[in-house]
Every structure is written in C-alpha cells, then in structure tokens.
Structure 1
Amino acid sequence: MDIFLEYFFQRALLGGILIGAMAPLLGIFLVLRRLSMIGDTLAHVSIAGVALGFLIGVYPLAVGLVFSILASFAIERLRRAYRSYAELSIAIIMSGGVALATFLFTLGKGFNMDVTSYLFGSIYTLSWTDLWLVLGVTVVVLVMLFLFFKEMFLIMFDEDAAAVSGIPLRALNLLTTILTALVIGVAIKIVGALLVSALLTIPVASSLAVAKSFRRSVWIALIYSEIAVVGGLVAAGVWNWAPGATIVLMLIVMLILTLLVRGRTANV
C-alpha cells in the first residue's frame, strides 16, 4: 500500500502505537478503581486549554496538557474534601471544563480557532513536535507504572490495607491522576476529546471478559488496543474514513465479539 510510504501516515502510526500502549496499561487501574469517567473529565478540561492556546498563540497541545494536569490536582483535592462522594469531584471538574471551553470558544469567534481536530481527532496531522511529546509522555507513564506497579496494584484492590502497610496513598492517588492527565492531554489529537476515554476503558473491558488473572488482563488489553489502533488507522487510510472514530468502532466490535464468544463458550 502506497499509504505506508507517506510520512504523515508513518507519524500517525507511530503516535497511535504509543497511545495504544500506554492508555490500556493505565486504564486497567482506573477501571478496577471505578474511575472510568475521569478520562472524559480531563479530556473536556484539555479542550479548554487547547482553546486558550489558540487564543494566546501558544502551542495548543501543550496548553491542553497543562490544563489537564491542573485539573488532576483539583480532582484529588475535591476527592479528599468529599471522601464519601468521591465521584462528585469528577462531575464538578467536568462541568467546569465544559463551561470554560464553551466560554473560550465564544471569545475566539472571529479568530483562527480550529479545535475540531482536537474534538474528533486528527491523527494524520501529527507533527514531529506532537510525536516527540507523545513519546515523552509514553516514557514517563511506562517508567512510573514500572516503578510503582506493586503499590498501585495493592491500592487498586484494597486501599485500607495499602494505607496500613505504609504506602503513601495520597501521593500515589495523585500520581495516577496526573498520569491519566498526561495520557489524555496528548491523546486528544489522535482520537479526539470525545472519544479518548474509549482507549482507556474498552480494551480493558474486553480483557476483563476473558482474562483469568490480573497479569493476563493487562496483556490482553494491550493486544486489543494495538490491534484496534493499527487496524483502524490502516482501514481509515485505505477507505478515507475518520481515523479516531474507526479505531473506537473497531474496539467496540471487538468487545461485542469477545462477549459473544465468551457467552457461547459458557453455554457449552
């Protein structure tokens, strides 16, 4: 296929593979801690940052990343303030992110604010700067997960036991949220803010349906994610489809097929 010889497609493929690797690796910790919606929340806040970046003439993806990180601090602060209603922090920050993004869009009328690519994804427009940013975030996420894997594993299943054993619960909760913010901040240009949480959750949902251990679920989620990213990009490139939407639809189809196969196997 001639499309593989195009530099824009090679950058897209590299960026997609990097996001496809780190999103489910982090997503499995979020899903099992019932924090699946945090991806949507940080994505909406990131869009507000992107809009501000366009307004002030600063690299939009970087401003969106900063906004996402600041929102992660706010979420953890609110989670401590409302311990019995931890999910309330996510709802509050999401509402604020949507409101701020809408306000900045209004201010940007008449300016060159092409935020559509950040809403729905525009992986074919990835620049080398974008790709280096994605690579940097990937390295940070993978290193942090490697260093604190056992601690995050224990917190995921039993926070009380983790606290008693001396694990810095507050610091690791904040680290998890910041890592999520980093992933969201760089992924919005690849699959879009409206679809980005799918990469965090759907591969994990598929793996949890068939895996018999946590370690296997991690690897299966990673495989599902990469198949969908590479297959979706190739299909979108060949048939001129929207790449972000194609990736997410492939993930959903794979999840449905997985559930059907598991159902038939269980009935045998």
Structure 2
Amino acid sequence: MDILYSDFFQRAILGGVLIGLAAPLLGIFLVLRRLSMIGDTLAHVSIAGVALGFLVNIYPLGMGLVFSIIAAFGIEKLRKTYKTYAELSIAIIMSGGVALATFLFSQGKGFNLNVTSYLFGSIYTLDNTDVLIVGIVTVIVLCVVFFLFKEFFLMSFDEDAAGVSGLPIQYLNMVITILTALVISVSIKIVGALLVSALLTIPVATSLVFSRGFKQTVIWSVIYSEISVVAGLLIAGLFNYAPGATVVLSLISILVLTLLFKLTFRRGLSI
C-alpha cells in the first residue's frame, strides 16, 4: 500500500486521469467518422520520433509529438488525394512510420531499451515535465472540443452535408487530426504505442452499447475511461503488474461486462 503514497505513483495517476479525459473526447469523433485506426498510425510514427530523440539526445516525447503532427498533416493531405479510398492515407503513413522506427532502432546505441518502454508504456517514469505536457494537451483538447463541439458533431455524422452548410471541413479535419496527434504522442509513455488506440476507441465502444444521444455517449465514454485508468493503475501498483496492460485490460473488461449485461437484459425482457 505504500506505493499509493509515493511521488511517482501519484504522478502516474495524475497523468493517467488527464489522458483518460482527453482521449475519449477525441475518440468519439474518430469512431463516428470510421477513423479508429488513426491512433495506431500516429502512435507508430511517434515511436519513430522518440527513437530519433534518443539518437540525437533531444527530449524524446517532444520529438514524438513533432513527428505525430507532421504525420497528421500527411494523413490529411493523402485523404484529399485519395478521396474515394481515404483509408489508404492511414495505411501509407503507418507503413512509413513503422519503417522509419525500425531504421532508427537499427541505429540505436544503447537506447533501444528506453524506446521499448514507449512501445509498452512506462507510466511510472513520468516526471514533472511529462505531466505538465500531458496537462497542457488535455486543456487544449478540452477548450477546442468545447468551442467546436457543434461543428465536430455535424461533421462526424455527415461530412458532405456539413460542407454544404458552410462549415470549413478541411480546417476542422485538420484540427481533429492534430489534436489526435497531440493526445497520441503524450499517451505512448502512459499505455504504450501498441495499446494507445484502446484509450481512443474502447471507452467509446462501451458507451455506445447503452447511451441514448450523442452528449450522453461522450459523458459515459469519459466515465468509462477514467474508471479503467484508475482501476488499472491501482491493480498494477498493488500487484506489480504492467500498468499499460492493466489499464487496457480494465477497458476491455468493462466493455465485456457491459455487453453481457445488455444481453442478459434483453433476454429478461423477452421472457
């Protein structure tokens, strides 16, 4: 129980709660626009940036953030080029990110172990600078979503109709993609690049099971996310498990329980 009072664990909880708030707020718009895989894409590109940061001795999380933003611009450019096959943009950028990360791994001189921690998460190593950056990104996401909530809502359900009505679709697409890049780049140290898309999608998938209405879905997505993050970190801290894995497994467990409850509820009504 002493771990609960340690500074590194409290920083982990704070960082997890912050990203648990920001991720599903963006995830709901990505899921509705069928862009769930964009999280994995930007995460792989972020790892390439982290690897380069270690290689040239520059703040790795910062380099990952820069790479993610560049990839976000690349995705939007390719989406316009391949309008009919927009998902190609995600596949192309992901392939490039994996290739670049692999190349930089091969150039590593003793930093590969550090980069690996970003693949699987290393939330216990968050320092004050990391928590500050996560906090800034979370505030940015909250402010943008608050002021552009109506526009994002309309675009998510019918992008063509939103464009006809006069909304700046290209600008809004870029804003969402860049925000996603920011969230992904600061999340990889918390749950790892291989698991980061779970924070964007699974809370939303869970809330869609029962929620009625868009705002209710958003609220329950955040609630499910925060419960999973805190529960996962507490389990990891008390039983010495991998924190990123326990957070994602907590997300999946809540999703499975919700689906089972819905199935049982339906069967009860049919009797």
TM range (shorter): over 0.9
Deviating above 2 A after TM superposition, structure 1's stretches of 4 or more consecutive aligned residues are: 110-113
Offset from partner CA, 1:84-140 (integer Å, 9 cap, x none): 0000000000000000000000011x3334111100000000000100000010011
Which residue of the partner structure matches residue 238 of structure 2? 238
1:122 and 1:80 map into 2 onto residues whose CA distance is 36
CA-CA distance at 1:174 after TM superposition:
0.5
- Residue type of the partner of 2:133? L
Task: Measure, in 1, the Cα distance between the counterparts of 2:212 and 2:5.
Answer: 40
Q: Which runs of 5+ in 1 are unaligned?
A: none
Distance apart, 1:161 and its partner CA: 1.5
- Residues 47-84 of structure 1, C-alpha deviation per residue, up to 9 Å, x if partnerless? 00000000000000000000000000000000000000
1:123 corresponding residue in structure 2: 123
Q: CA RMSD in A?
A: 0.7
| 8 A contact 1:24–1:204 mirrored in 2 | yes
- Contact 1:55–1:111 under 8 Å retained in 2: no
Matched residue, 1:140 = 140
Inter-partner Cα distance in structure 2 for 1:164 and 1:3: 55
**2: CA distance, partners of 1:160 / 1:87:** 17
How far 1:267 moved relative to its partner? 1.8
Structure 2: which amino acid aligns with 1:237?
G
Residue 243 of structure 1 deviates from its aligned partner by 0.2
**Residue 27 of structure 1 corresponds to which residue in structure 2?**
27
Q: Distance in 2 between matches of 1:264 and 1:157?
A: 30
SS at match of 2:188: helix
Matched-pair contact (CA < 8 Å) for 2:41–2:97: yes
Relative to the length of structure 1, the TM-score reads 0.98
Within 5 Å, give how 1:210-249 maps onto structure 2: 210-249=210-249
**Structure 2: gaps of 5 or more residues:** none
Q: Partners in 1 of 2:169 and 2:25 — Cα distance?
A: 20
> In structure 2, how many angstroms separate the alpha carbons of the residues matched to 1:95 and 1:189?
21
Q: Which letter does structure 2 place at the counterpart of 1:91?
A: A
Write the letter of the residue equivalent to 2:19. Answer: I
Retained in 1: the 8 A contact 2:4–2:237?
Answer: no
User: What is the aligned partner in structure 2 of residue 166 from structure 1?
Assistant: 166
- Rounded to whole Å, the distance in 2 between the matches of 1:5 and 1:116 is 27
SS of the equivalent of 1:85 reads: coil
Q: Distance in 2 between matches of 1:259 and 1:112?
A: 42
Q: What residue is the counterpart of 2:75 in the other structure?
A: 75
Q: Is the 8 A contact 1:36 1:201 kept in 2?
A: yes
User: TM-score w.r.t. structure 2 length?
Assistant: 0.97
Residue 5 of structure 1 and its aligned partner are, at CA, apart by 1.3
Q: Which residue of 2 aligns with 1:192?
A: 192
Q: Structure 2: how far apart are the matches of 1:100 and 1:160?
A: 35
